[in-house]
Amino acid sequence: DGARPRVLVVGAGLAGLGAAQRLSSSRAFPHLRLLESTGRAGGRVCSQRFGTGRAPRGARPRPSRAGAVSGGVPGCGVPGELCQTGGQQAGCAGLWGSVPVAYSCLLRCVPAPVIERLIMTSENNHSGRFLTLPREGPSWSLPVRDQDETYCGIGELCQAGGRSEVVEMGAHWIHGPSKENPVFQLASDYGLLDEEAMSEENQQIEVGGHPLLPAVFYSNAGRVLSPELVEGVRNLFSTLLDQTREFLHVPQVSVPSVGEYLRKEIAQQVKEWTDDDETKWLKLAILNTYFKLECCVSGTHSMDHVALGPFGEYAMLPGLDCTFPGGYGGLPDCMLTSLPKESVLFHKPVTAVRWGGSYQEESQEGRTFPVQVECEDGERFLADHVIITVPLGFLKEHHETFIDPPLPPRKADAIRQLGFGTNNKIFLEFEQPFWPPDCQLIEVVWEDESPLVEAGTDLQASWFRKLIVFLVLQPPERYGHVLCGFIAGKESEYMETLSDAAVLTALTDVIRRLTGNPHLAPPKKVMRSQWHSAPYTRGSYSYVAVGSSGDDIDALAQPLPEDAPQQVLFAGEATHRTFYSTTHGALLSGWREADRLLSLYDTSESHQHKPRL
């Protein structure tokens, strides 16, 4: 075994977990280590409990399974009888047992409030560890121990009281949940999706990336805009946007960016509008909202930064976008649980990847390794191969010092030229909804704006104007009255520098203007993501920026050296030419690089593995 190849994976997002899971299911790679800078798995998949800022560490039981999970959840490896969800109202009437239970399974089988308490009192127990929960009577005071019987703390299992639902700080939907989507497949296998999401009917719906939800458009003049007017403008915008995808194989484009193309077409169309002036301005203002919405979709400051030619290369899969009832984070948690416990090291930021060397270890005399990875704490790891899955934002900031010898110019150029912008979420909880009961989407129109007029640049004075869409979290019986706002670009990065109180004040003011109610009660809770400030992410996701193309994505994905045996391999969403910016792109890229290594060592295995569930 000692002679088998050593592989390091840097980053425990979906790309890194996918690569590690695939490699660990092969006998060829018993020496596998995954180094993650933070204290959790998932990366930009990040579910937290609203208001607590804590990871939920698991999903709620699937409704269809409630009361019927005494045999455990498929794939969790629990011998049975441990998991029962029958007694929800008393906390957890059926939780007992002295057999070890896979943490992720436990989390999926027990009501969320119980788990919240358990997590609060057993911080040392992360996914992938095992807990033993002996039954101790009706007080729900249970010692929590890990697999080695090490004392971890006393957990008092009871209703936590108060609502604290799971919200997604990062990835929100499975885009195109259907057979070809590996995230959908894996999540289905793990039992993390509800029946509606898994239905054949849902999988066949084609929405072209923009699912329609019942929406209300509010304007800053304190009025609700006519749905007919909005629909006409939406149809115009989506027709123009569809046209931008047709330039893929056109050798020369007249303008470089999606934004410029859209504006040019709109300027043409306006000339033919026969509406009165007020309606014309209103239509332009609505169009401006759609521009900002597209900035959120592409994760960019302006659509003028998104390259026109390659825009159509981003591929959409069929299926009505769906969410994870218990949190997206259930997916990385389950993947983590399937990896050998000792193979994953948290709080291990990598500072340098040295390749093309000949490194020796005292314990393994005579054997040399071409790769040495250095961590912030000084620890070094030698390997035959390293798969780097860190976000493009991190590479943009650090690639010159992170990889030694430095990246070839073609690769360094790709890192510089590809886009990596910011899209953040702001969650607001209200005592009472100000929106109508059937509304699932609130869109904001600033009547004094137009895509044909240059926007102001004073971030302090107007950052909040970039926040133009709020999702109403569903269902309200579960969430209460919670909105999830999306904000992209420089305004989003500026927002990250403000305090919660300042964000709350600014948004209260906006919502009072939208509703025309100067006394509307402020939100009672606010929580937001700050992806640009996150040192190991530095933004949200990638896009193909003006001056770059799909070839840059391929250049970024190219391993080093180009000829086998490759030492440094690259995965992550930004390395997937057609599914960049998504979780399925990330997962596929991890599998791709794992397959590359598998085919180096054992071609017979490379095509038959299935991830271990």
State the binding string over 76-115 for ligand 6YU (x if CB under 6 A, else -). ----------------------------------------
Q: Cβ of residue 180: shortest distance to ligand 6YU, in angstroms?
A: 14
- Closer to ligand 6YU at the Cβ: 198 or 316? 316
State the binding string over 258-297 for ligand 6YU (x if CB under 6 A, else -). ---------------------------------------x
10 in contact with ligand 6YU (CB under 6 A): yes
Site for ligand 6YU in 37-56 (CB under 6 A): 37-38, 43-45
Using the contact rule CB under 6 A, the part of the chain among 36-44, 277-285, 466-474, 516-524 near ligand 6YU is 36-44
> Are the beta carbons of 22 and 595 closer than 8 angstroms?
yes
- Determine what percent of the chain falls in helix, strand and coil, rounding each to the nearest 5: 35, 20, 45
CA neighbours closer than 13 Å in the CB half-sphere of residue 424: 27
Place of tokens 């009255």: 481
Give the one residue of 12, 23, 142, 282 binding ligand 6YU; rule: CB under 6 A. Answer: 12
Determine the 3-state secondary structure of 477 from DSSP: helix
User: How far is residue 146 CA from its own chain's centroid?
Assistant: 29
Q: Cβ of residue 270: shortest distance to ligand 6YU, in angstroms?
A: 25
- Closer to ligand 6YU at the Cβ: 88 or 582? 582
- Closer to ligand 6YU at the Cβ: 173 or 591? 173
Tell me which H or E stretch contains 481. Answer: strand 481-488
175 in contact with ligand 6YU (CB under 6 A): yes
Using the contact rule CB under 6 A, the part of the chain among 102-110, 193-201, 457-465, 539-547 near ligand 6YU is 539-547
Taking alpha carbons only, the member of 174, 184, 168, 593 closest to residue 389 is 593
Q: Cβ of residue 13: shortest distance to ligand 6YU, in angstroms?
A: 2
Instruction: Find out whether the peptide bond into 565 is cis, omega within 30 degrees of 0.
Output: yes
Euclidean distance between CA atoms 345 and 97, whole angstroms: 29
**Number of Cβ atoms within 10 Å of the Cβ of 417:** 17
Give the one residue of 13, 94, 330, 489 binding ligand 6YU; rule: CB under 6 A. Answer: 13
Site for ligand 6YU in 326-345 (CB under 6 A): none
Give the one residue of 289, 450, 583, 606 binding ligand 6YU; rule: CB under 6 A. Answer: 583
The token pair that represents 30 in the structure block: 């018993």
Q: Cβ of residue 558: shortest distance to ligand 6YU, in angstroms?
A: 17
User: How far is residue 564 CA from its own chain's centroid?
Assistant: 32
Place of tokens 């969403």: 573
Tell me which H or E stretch contains 380. Answer: strand 380-383
Phi, psi at residue 541, to the nearest 5°? -160, 170
573 in contact with ligand 6YU (CB under 6 A): yes
- Closer to ligand 6YU at the Cβ: 121 or 417? 417
Across 36-90, where does the E strand assignment appear? 47-49
Q: Cβ of residue 345: shortest distance to ligand 6YU, in angstroms?
A: 9
Strands 481-488 and 423-430: antiparallel
Q: What's the Cα-to-Cα distance from 91 to each of 80, 108, 527, rounded to whole Å?
A: 20, 15, 27
**Number of Cβ atoms within 10 Å of the Cβ of 257:** 23
Q: What's the Cα-to-Cα distance from 1 to each of 6, 9, 605, rounded to whole Å?
A: 10, 19, 17
Q: Cβ of residue 138: shortest distance to ligand 6YU, in angstroms?
A: 41
Taking alpha carbons only, the member of 507, 473, 505 closest to residue 487 is 507
Give the one residue of 25, 219, 540, 566 binding ligand 6YU; rule: CB under 6 A. Answer: 540
391 in contact with ligand 6YU (CB under 6 A): yes
- Closer to ligand 6YU at the Cβ: 172 or 596? 172
Phi, psi at residue 464, to the nearest 5°? -65, -15
Phi, psi at residue 474, to the nearest 5°? -115, 150
202 in contact with ligand 6YU (CB under 6 A): no
- Closer to ligand 6YU at the Cβ: 130 or 494? 494
- Our CA dihedral for 571, 348, 151, 146, rounded to 10 degrees, sits at 10
Using the contact rule CB under 6 A, the part of the chain among 90-98, 134-142, 579-587, 598-606 near ligand 6YU is 579-587
State the binding string over 404-443 for ligand 6YU (x if CB under 6 A, else -). -------------------x-x------------------
| Binding residues with ligand 6YU: total (CB under 6 A) | 44
Tell me which H or E stretch contains 490. Answer: helix 489-496
Q: Cβ of residue 373: shortest distance to ligand 6YU, in angstroms?
A: 9
- Closer to ligand 6YU at the Cβ: 537 or 567? 537
Q: Which distant-in-sequence residues (6+ apart) come within 8 Å of 453 by Cβ? A: none
Q: Cβ of residue 430: shortest distance to ligand 6YU, in angstroms?
A: 21
> Are the beta carbons of 515 and 458 closer than 8 angstroms?
no
Q: Cβ of residue 174: shortest distance to ligand 6YU, in angstroms?
A: 6
Residues that bind ligand 6YU (CB under 6 A): 10-16, 35-38, 43-45, 170-173, 175, 297-298, 311, 314, 349-350, 389-391, 394, 423, 425, 529, 531, 536-537, 540-541, 543, 572-573, 581-583, 586
